[in-house]
Amino acid sequence: MSAELIASITIFALAVFLGFELIARVPTLLHTPLMSGTNAISGIVLVGALLVSSFAESALEQTLAFVAIVLSTINVVGGFLVTDRMLEMFKRKPARPPE
Amino acid sequence: MTAVLAVVSQNVVNLTYVAAAILFVVGIRLLASPGTARAGNVLAAAGMVLAVVFTILLPEVSNYGLIAAGLAVGAVAGVVAARVVKMTAMPQMVAAFNGFGGGASVIVAFAEYRRLAPEPGALAGDVLGAALFSALVGAITFTGSTLAFAKLQEVMPGRPVTFPGQQLVNGTILVAALGVGIAAGVAEATVWISMLIVLALGLGVAFVLPIGGADMPVVIAFLNAFSGLSAVGAGFVLDNNALVIGGTLVGASGTLLTVLMSRAMNRSLGNVLFGAFGTVAAAPGEVAAGTDSKTHREVTAEDAAVMLAYASRVVIVPGYGLAVAQAQHSVRELADLLERRGVDVKYAIHPVAGRMPGHMNVLLAEANVPYPQLYDMEDINPEFPRTDVALVIGANDVTNPAARNTPDSPIYGMPILDVDRASNVVVLKRSMNPGFAGIENELYYNPRTAMLFGDAKASVEKLVAGVKAA
């Protein structure tokens, strides 16, 4: 096993625990925003798509890289925006309707 | 464009990944609390921008035309999707975004494998394993999410789709996928990973096909975890810590949410995913036999409105029917009217009401219901005995007392909202038809229960008119 692999496994293991600890007690209220917010974070695969694009030479490789960038960008941009749209709606005080 | 924008060393980029990871962690931390959630989302997004921008500045990344085009197309599509989606369609939106992330992971894994595989032994064992894992999990996420989207969008029926020998077929596909995966590991040829991806795409379809609408909260959370895990796999392939950390955080939180949702239904994850809920429920004949002698009581909207108007405590129990009818704004109007008359109004939220975790909270928030009025199951259940009217709007299984009383019911043991303990129960429902799961709800035959039939939105509007007149 390479040193890089061991380092990656270490990071992975610690991140698993961190992930569980972070959201162990999230109120039902925030389940959807939490899910869609973390969903946007999984769009980090965009970084992978960018790296893949650097090796893309043939038409096939270029197409694959392009599709991967598009898909993960939708995931990132759409995910964060829609989460923000939802959270904007959560209000503590009632907006009193006109009497 | 081949000119290098800027040269930033790999070390500098790796450090920005650390910063991005910290922003993700702090962001998720803040997302877990209502007052800070919005800031948390912004921080996580900032982490993403940081990681992406510095990746583009790496010297080996130079395909700027392609990158700019991809980012532009994706960003426009993402902005449009996020803007136009209705809050009632949020479950399928989340499913679609999940699928896109999974699809991107598949492509990244495939492209890396393809690039390295032709040289024998070029792939180290761990890279190989990670590429195959990422392709498998990502492909299942992609088609699984697409199918979940189709079911939620009602492009196809939401009920479980089952056929004889289904488990056998699914098992065969799984075994074949694992076999091909091993071959891809040994032979290192593009054809093998291509076959693996095709089989995994089939597996995603086979996996979501038999799952019914009511189990969607579990499936959506599960696919969310899977999209994270496929990013982790891609991270190991590329030896990229941003992907490993970001993906793992999503995998862990998605897993936790999945477990939480299964627990809220008192079912094991395996039972939800492989049990085909609808088919284990009693056959229609049996149900009818048990309920022949029972009668339900109907009520007019006017009478129900009077009951509400002169109550002192009302608890509203929303379910998927409210989302389907888009009745959230009318419900808010009704609650406002009642409050102005001095009625104490609360909302009872079951953890799996709707089609994704927290679905009802989002809908009611859209209708400007202040969140301190929304009560979780544990907090509201002790209140029902002191409640004058429990108003059930399009919720079914989560109110079924059979979960407490009938040991042979498929939902026995599931924690429910104890609406039957209120002095009066008004149920808004289309008809007496049991839900697709075919489970009869005892609540409807309770002498204290009155049924108001019709579309949820139309019924609530009638209640609003009735309360105004009362």
> Per residue in B376-422, pLDDT tens?
999 999 999 999 999 999 888 889 998 888 888 878 888 999 999 99
Q: Do B240 and A75 touch (CB under 8 A)?
A: no
Closest residue to B108, CB basis, from A49, A94, A99:
A49
Nearest in space to B100 (alpha carbons), one of B57, B35, B145:
B145
pLDDT, one tens digit per residue, over B16-65 is 999 999 999 999 999 988 889 999 999 999 999 999 999 999 988 888 99
pLDDT tens string B321-369: 898 888 999 999 999 999 999 999 999 999 888 888 888 998 999 898 9
Length, in residues, of chain A: 99
Residue B4 has pLDDT above 60, yes or no: no
- Whether A23 has its CB under 8 Å from any CB of chain B: the answer is yes
In this prediction, residue B283 has a pLDDT band, given cuts at 50, 70 and 90, of very low
Interface of A with B in 29-58 (CB under 8 A): 29-56
pLDDT digits (tens, 9 = 90+) for A76-94: 999 999 999 999 888 766 5
**Could you give the angle at the alpha carbon of B307 between the alpha carbons of B305 and B311, nearest 5°?**
120
Q: Tell me the nearest-neighbour CA distance from A47 into chain B, angstroms.
A: 6
Q: Who's near B42: CB < 8 A, 6+ residues apart?
A: A84, B27
Contact B398, B266 (CB under 8 A): no
Q: Which of B215, B397, B418, B420 is catalytic?
A: B397
Helices (H), B265-343: 269-274, 277-280, 284-291, 301-309, 320-325, 328-340
Instruction: Please give the average per-residue pLDDT across B161-166, as a whole number.
Output: 80
Q: Which residues pair with B363 in a beta bridge?
A: none
Residues of chain B with pLDDT > 90, as a percent, come to 53
* pLDDT tens profile B420-433: 999 999 999 888 77
Q: Assess whether pLDDT exceeds 50 at residue B171.
A: yes
Question: Residue B137 contacts by C-beta under 8 Å, 6 or more apart in sequence?
Answer: B102, B105, B200, B226, B229, B230, B233
Instruction: For chain B, say whether A98 makes contact (Cβ under 8 Å).
Output: no
H or E segment to which residue B217 belongs:
helix B216-238
Q: Which structure tokens are listed for B48?
A: 């993403």
- pLDDT for the residue B405: 87
B376 is catalytic: no
Least Cα distance to B93 among A75, A92, A89 occurs for A75
What pLDDT score was predicted for residue B2? 47
- The answer to whether B462 and B305 are in contact (CB under 8 A) is yes
Pick from A93-97, B94-98, B131-135: least confident: A93-97
Q: Which residue has the tokens 């488990």?
A: B167
Q: What percent of chain B has pLDDT over 70?
A: 92
Q: What is the pTM of this model?
A: 0.86
**pLDDT(A95) > 80:** no
Task: State the pLDDT at residue B278.
Answer: 40
- Supply the pLDDT for residue B435: 60
For residue B453, report the phi and psi dihedrals to the nearest 5 degrees. Answer: -85, 150
- Name the residue of chain B whose CA is nearest to A28's CA: B358
Q: What's the confidence (pLDDT) of residue B123? A: 66
B111 contact A CB<8A: yes
Q: Given this model, what pLDDT does residue B288 score?
A: 40
Which of A18, A51, A91 minimizes the C-alpha distance to B52?
A51
d(CA A4, CA B30): 31
Q: How confident is the model at residue A22 (pLDDT cuts 50, 70, 90)?
A: confident
Q: Provide the sign of the torsion angle of the four alpha carbons B64, B66, B71, B76, taken in this order.
A: positive
Report yes or no: B122 at the A interface, CB cutoff 8 Å. Answer: no
N-to-C CA span, chain B? 72
Confidence of residue B286 (pLDDT cuts 50, 70, 90): very low
| Chain A interface, best mutation among B71, B261, B369, by max A CB count within 10 A | B71
Q: H-helix or E-strand containing B438?
A: none
As a whole number of angstroms, the distance between CA B151 and CA B156 comes to: 5
A36: chain B residues, CB-CB within 8 Å: 90, 93-94, 97
Phi-psi region of B431 (alpha: psi -120 to 50; beta: other; left: phi over 0): beta
Query: In the prediction, which pLDDT does A98 show?
Result: 45
Task: Report in angstroms the alpha-carbon separations of B457 from B334, B390, B430.
Answer: 11, 17, 11
ipTM of predicted complex: 0.92
The model's pLDDT over B128-159, given as tens digits with 9 standing for 90+, comes to: 889 999 999 999 999 999 999 999 888 887 77
